[in-house]
Amino acid sequence: MTADTLRVELACATGSQQELIEFTVSSHRTVGQIIDESGIYDLFPGQGLESAAVGIWGRPVDRDQRVRDGDRIEIYRPLKMDPREARRRLAESGRTMNQKSDD
């Protein structure tokens, strides 16, 4: 690796598939450029990743954010249900997040 290159990771997951891809890229690349050029859209077809929220190490960022060496770019899928609503529904049924549905 040279002074003009960076090592970054790209993470994306659905309920059934996870990918963590490591890249060496030229410096001055943006999150959006790396995502667009990564091939991730082919690995997750029809998932709407082109417009999904993104972040670096759990912190939401814009796609025009420049990456730094060691960054992990994350593509966030939309939640099926607000976590607070999910907990409320479980509480109403007498269950908790740690219990399986057949308990």
Using one digit for the tens of pLDDT, what is the confidence trace for 31-61?
999 999 999 999 988 888 888 999 999 999 9
- What gap in Å lies between CA 102 and CA 51, rounded to an integer? 36
Which H or E run contains 14? none
Domains and CATH numbers, the chain: 5-92 (3.10.20.30)
Average pLDDT of the residues of the chain: 86
pLDDT tens for residues 13-34? 887 889 999 999 988 899 999 9
**Cβ neighbourhood burial of 23 (10 Å; 0-12, 13-18, 19+):** middle
- The model carries a pTM of 0.74
Q: Give the CA-trace dihedral at 60, 46, 16, 88, to 10 degrees.
A: 60
Q: How far, in Å, CA of 31 to CA of 13, rounded?
A: 17
Pairing type for strands 59-61 and 72-76 reads: unpaired
Sheet strands side by side (includes 59-61): 18-26, 5-13, 72-76, 53-56, 59-61
